[in-house]
């Protein structure tokens, strides 16, 4: 989040759809354009003009951060993930090779949200070099690629061809990356040993890691995690989100409420 | 261990886990003299310690109600949510007005805790004439809360409505609850909300 994002975002709450689209289409004022991209995603404006302008913004070269990043492209990619229109997929795949790490991360997350398997080869390509290549960028707070977003997307997209390249990431030095690999491998294989790694992660000594593991078991709907989620030391609001994910995943597989569904809800009730 | 040394342990804890352990030990005494310190812990932004402090305050029960009401933190919504949770679990009807307004708080964790607590007040502590009036106010508030934009607040409202329905003095008030649950079950956008209202409705039908 940029320092002043909240303030401007609040001012932008009063825009109309027409204004937001016009603000994105213009190129004279980069900061207004930046917030317009955010706004259209936030309010999920499904309009052809908004879609076209956002796709065009993915190629923007005007709005540059001091570090050489592309702020507008990042916001445009995020917004396109929220709009749910598959016409954005090819441009987002192109963005996976953008020089800006955060554009690649936003694009991977958007492609995960859109759920289109055309993204798989582009995502897999970012794993080239395997764990050996997955090192920190000197002087930056991140690795060379947004591995957690890439791995999560491959899992969500059911990219079974990714099982082999993803597997070594279970041993990556960064815990978040290991969790993302376990999450993806559980989705790709259904093998509980991977889900169980996330249950172990719920007992990490660090709160940040327990929070990350909560989001992971919720995202994959790992039924065995219900009690460990209820018992882990973290905010109730995050536990509730995790249990909601598990509940919804489970309800999608049954016709009527069963004991497991009632057990999840009983745990949720206690956390309110 | 004396109470003074347990209180000092909370003040001198130098890690999150150390604080959690110290608060747990203090909470286990059930000693009303621990109330001010336990309330202070609710503002520490340490979820583990806050859970333990809430548990301690709930164990102490009635003597903690007045201090909790007096020290509700208007500026720290995290602390306010925990205090509302403690009041909700104790269920003393002196918290009724606070819970009614907390169900419309700007912080969703506060609305969530209040909505659940409104359903489980200890109605028998009120005179019969006050009881029906109070239950009507709670019903009205929870019906509004069941339309909250946040799923977790609607979820808590369902749980609150289900408990309220069990404790009602006037059985006619059950009808709007059942209607509300039916409506959520059929048309809420969230699968989890539809599931929870189905469960609540089912449980109310089987206890009729």
Four-residue CA torsion sign, B98, B101, B103, B108:
negative
Q: How far apart are CA A47 and CA A52, in angstroms?
A: 9
Structure tokens at B7: 């209180």
A143 backbone dihedrals φ, ψ, rounded to 5°: -80, 180
The predicted pLDDT at position A2 comes to: 41
Query: Over the stretch B147-160, which tens digit does the pLDDT of each residue have?
Result: 999 999 999 999 99
Query: Over the stretch A208-248, which tens digit does the pLDDT of each residue have?
Result: 999 999 999 999 999 999 999 999 988 889 999 999 999 99
**Considering chain A, what is the average pLDDT of its residues?**
93
Set of chain A residues whose Cβ sits within 8 Å of the Cβ of B114: none
- On the question of pLDDT at A119 being above 60, the answer is yes
More confident position, B1 or A97: A97
CB A272 within 8 A of CB B156: yes
* Contact between chains at B47 and A240 (C-beta distance less than 8 A): no
**Considering chain B, what is the average pLDDT of its residues?**
93
Q: Which of B48, B113, B199 sits opposite A262 (nearest CB)?
A: B199
- Mean pLDDT over A159-165 rounds to 97
The predicted pLDDT at position A11 comes to: 60
- On the question of pLDDT at A127 being above 50, the answer is yes
Distances (CA, A) of B180 to B46, B144, B145, B161, B173: 36, 10, 11, 9, 12
The pTM (predicted TM-score) of the whole model is 0.87
Q: Which of A237, A251, A269 sits opposite B109 (nearest CB)?
A: A237
Query: Over the stretch A168-190, which tens digit does the pLDDT of each residue have?
Result: 999 999 999 999 999 999 999 99
User: Quick one: pLDDT band at residue A29, thresholds 50, 70, 90?
Assistant: very high
CB B55 within 8 A of CB A270: no
The CB density around residue B69, as the number of other CB atoms within 10 Å, is 15
The predicted pLDDT at position A99 comes to: 96
**A and B: number of Cβ contacts within 8 A:** 51
DSSP secondary structure string for all residues of B132-184: HHHHHHHHHHHHHHTT-SSHHHHHHHHHHHHHHHHH-SSGGGHHHHHHHHHHH
Query: Over the stretch B107-160, which tens digit does the pLDDT of each residue have?
Result: 999 999 999 999 999 999 999 889 999 999 999 999 999 999 999 999 999 999
* Contact between chains at A248 and B192 (C-beta distance less than 8 A): yes
Q: Which of A235, A241, A265 sits opposite B199 (nearest CB)?
A: A265
* Contact between chains at B152 and A261 (C-beta distance less than 8 A): no
* Contact between chains at A257 and B195 (C-beta distance less than 8 A): yes
Q: How far is CA A104 from the centre of its chain?
A: 11
The CB density around residue B193, as the number of other CB atoms within 10 Å, is 21
Specify the range with the lowest mean pLDDT, choosing from A114-123, A144-153, A165-174, B43-52: B43-52
Q: B 68-127 residues with CB below 8 A of A?
A: 108-109, 112-113, 115-116
């Amino acid at each position: 989040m940029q320092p002043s994002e909240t303030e401007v975002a609040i001012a932008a709450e009063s825009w109309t759809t027409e204004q937001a689209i016009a603000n994105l289409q213009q190129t004279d004022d980069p900061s207004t354009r930046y917030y317009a991209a955010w706004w259209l995603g936030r309010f999920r404006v499904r309009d052809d003009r908004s879609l076209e302008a956002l796709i065009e913004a993915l190629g923007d070269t005007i709005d540059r951060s001091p570090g050489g990043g592309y702020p507008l492209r990042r916001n445009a990619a995020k917004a396109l993930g929220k709009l749910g229109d598959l016409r954005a997929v090819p441009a987002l795949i192109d963005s996976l090779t953008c020089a800006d790490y955060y554009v690649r991360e936003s694009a991977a997350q958007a492609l995960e949200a859109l759920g289109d398997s055309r993204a798989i080869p582009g995502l897999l390509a970012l794993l080239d070099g395997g764990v050996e290549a997955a090192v920190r960028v000197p002087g930056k707070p991140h690795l060379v690629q947004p591995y957690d977003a890439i791995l999560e997307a491959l899992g969500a997209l059911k990219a079974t061809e990714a099982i082999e390249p993803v597997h070594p990431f279970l041993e990556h030095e960064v815990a978040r990356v290991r969790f993302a690999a376990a999450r993806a491998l559980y989705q790709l294989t259904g093998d509980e040993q991977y889900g169980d790694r996330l249950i172990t992660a719920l007992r990490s000594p660090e709160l940040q890691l327990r929070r990350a593991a909560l989001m992971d078991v919720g995202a994959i709907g790992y039924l065995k995690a219900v009690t460990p989620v209820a018992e882990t030391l973290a905010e109730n609001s995050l536990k509730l989100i995790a249990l909601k994910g598990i509940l919804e995943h489970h309800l999608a597989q049954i016709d009527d409420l069963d004991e497991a569904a009632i057990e999840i809800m009983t745990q949720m009730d206690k956390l309110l | 261990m004396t109470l003074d040394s347990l209180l000092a342990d909370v003040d001198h804890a130098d890690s999150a886990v150390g604080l959690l352990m110290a608060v747990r030990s203090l909470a286990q005494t059930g000693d009303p003299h621990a109330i001010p310190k336990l309330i202070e812990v609710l503002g520490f932004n340490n979820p583990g310690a806050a859970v333990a402090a809430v548990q301690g305050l709930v164990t102490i029960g009635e003597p903690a109600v007045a201090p909790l009401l007096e020290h509700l933190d208007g500026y720290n919504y995290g602390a306010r949510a925990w205090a509302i949770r403690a009041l909700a679990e104790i269920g003393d009807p002196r918290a009724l007005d606070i819970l009614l307004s907390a169900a419309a708080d700007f912080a969703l964790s506060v609305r969530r805790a209040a909505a659940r607590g409104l359903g489980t007040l200890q109605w028998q502590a009120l005179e019969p004439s006050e009881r029906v009036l109070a239950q009507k106010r709670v019903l009205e508030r929870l019906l509004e809360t069941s339309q909250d934009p946040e799923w977790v607040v609607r979820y808590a409202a369902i749980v609150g409505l289900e408990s309220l329905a069990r404790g009602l003095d006037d059985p006619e008030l059950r009808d709007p609850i059942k209607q509300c649950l039916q409506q959520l079950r059929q048309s809420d956008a969230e699968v989890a909300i539809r599931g929870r209202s189905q469960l609540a409705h089912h449980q109310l039908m089987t206890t009729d």
